[in-house]
Amino acid sequence: MDGSAAPGVSPPSREFSTNQFQLLAASLRQDVDARLAELLPFKPDEPGLKGAIAHGAFSPGKRLRPIMTMLACRQCGGDAAEALDAACAVEMIHAASLIVDDLPCMDDAHLRRNGLATHVAYGEGVGILASIALVNEAFRTLAKMDGVDPQKRLIATEKLADAIGVDGLAGGQESDLARNGAAPEGGMRAIEQSHLEKTGALFSAAAGIGAVIAGARTIEIDAMEQFGSALGLAYQTFDDVIDAECDESQTGKDSGKDENRTTVVTLMGARKANMTASHWIGEAVAAAARVDCGAGAPLADLARAVEEKFKALTRKS
């Protein structure tokens, strides 16, 4: 793969056709769903906390972050199956973050993944407890990973903790609350920093953890984390566009939640925002191209799939 491609231009994958990648991603998603059901033996129709945990974890999401973990492990020469539990831990954190994001004191959203937000379905208090429980189960899962070297488990745990702490998800959400919709000082640079914290940090950790479990070298782990950060910036920028341009029937969640906030779209318009997102897709593809352990470049295909998914939504709007 040519790592010198211009930003926003995705060179063709060397190893995977679109159909091959879709089959691979679908297989990994099934593995994640099956293992999550084992790690979280609860049902969405159960009352109380167990039902709320299942509601948050098993709603029909893309499983993008855990798939990224497993693909990063594969791309760095490891067996994707060895990263399955770590991938599930990443998804648990993501599910917990969505519950918190939707709370009345945060985004005050009522829809998520084509269904009711957890706090709407189970109550605000139980929703908060479900989020805490999911974080707990994520770290329990990392601690108990069978067949994974203890040092790798420790590094994976540190990376996931960093992603959700004061310099990650929590810090980014606090910055949003502090601004209360006002334009951030620093304009576009400040918005991208917020995107790096709220979205890019978990993307970066997801890819980095997969590389760690594969036994990758530091330079390869860094490339995987740079891939995750760039894809996170692209993802959140595209998400700002669809929030402005698409309705709930297309996105499966509340739309227009950013209408009173300063976003990439309000600063530069939807067309330039899409161009900016495509630039970050190009950066992600270039980062993925720096790691070649003989397994092809499935992460580059993942980045292009994300781009096509979002652009398909806006073409339909």
The predicted-structure confidence for 40-84, as pLDDT tens digits, reads as follows: 999 888 899 999 999 999 988 899 999 999 999 999 999 999 999
12 is a domain residue: no
Mean pLDDT of 199-218: 97
Residue 2, domain member (yes or no): no
Q: Is residue 136 a part of any domain in this protein?
A: yes
Q: Which domain holds residue 159?
A: 18-316
Whether 3 is covered by a domain: the verdict is no
Q: What is the pLDDT of residue 182?
A: 60
Q: Is residue 13 part of a domain?
A: no
Tell me: the pLDDT tens digits for 264-298? 888 888 889 999 999 999 999 999 999 988 777 89
Confidence of residue 4 (pLDDT cuts 50, 70, 90): very low
Would you place residue 186 in the very low, low, confident or very high pLDDT band (cuts 50, 70, 90)? low
Residue 219, domain member (yes or no):
yes
Confidence of residue 242 (pLDDT cuts 50, 70, 90): confident
Q: For residue 55, what is the domain's CATH number?
A: 1.10.600.10
pLDDT higher than threshold 50 for residue 108? yes
| Residue 147: other Cβ atoms inside 10 A | 9
Number of structural domains found in the chain:
1
Above 80 in pLDDT, residue 179? Answer: no
Looking at residue 139, its pLDDT comes to 98
Is position 8 within any domain?
no
